[in-house]
Structure formats: C-alpha cells, structure tokens
C-alpha cells in the first residue's frame, strides 16, 4: 500500500484585480472569507483553506471596489473596514 499525500480543497479559486475591481471567486467548496480594509491595504483570508492575500487601494493595481462570486456551497463573506 502507498501513502497518499495530503490534499487541500481550495475554496477560493481566484482572487484578482481587474479594472480596479478586486474579484474574489469561490469554487464549489464552502468558503469562510473575510476581507479587512485598513488604510490603503485590503487583506483577503479564507480560513477554510488558510488562503491569504493582500491588495492595495493605491498604485498601479489599486482596488476601488470588491466583487464576490460565491460557489455552490454555503459561503460566508465578511467585510470589515471603510
């Protein structure tokens, strides 16, 4: 018998800036996504799979808005900041 390697079922399938819009797309696994804006930084985390990404509201790829595309499972999306 062979031992199989650990596999994570990623909930966030992509998190990209497109035309100043941060687009967070979840796959069909449940997601627990939290977006925190503090000053000029936006941090996106998904505690389901330990994803973390940081984006800026200034500069070349500045974020002006956020869009969340949920998947087929029970996703949670929380935004904190202003």
Helix, strand, coil percentages for the chain (3-state, nearest 5): 0, 50, 50
Interval 57-71: pLDDT, tens: 999 889 999 999 988
Residue 3 has a pLDDT of 54
Residue 24 has a pLDDT of 93
């Amino acid at each position: 018998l062979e031992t199989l390697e650990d596999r994570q079922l990623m909930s966030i399938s992509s998190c990209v800036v497109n035309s100043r819009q941060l687009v967070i797309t979840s796959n069909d696994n449940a997601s627990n996504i939290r977006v925190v804006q503090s000053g000029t930084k936006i941090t996106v985390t998904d505690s389901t799979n330990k994803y973390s990404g940081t984006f800026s509201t200034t500069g070349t790829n500045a974020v002006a808005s956020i869009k969340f595309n949920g998947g087929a499972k029970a996703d949670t999306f929380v935004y904190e900041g202003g």
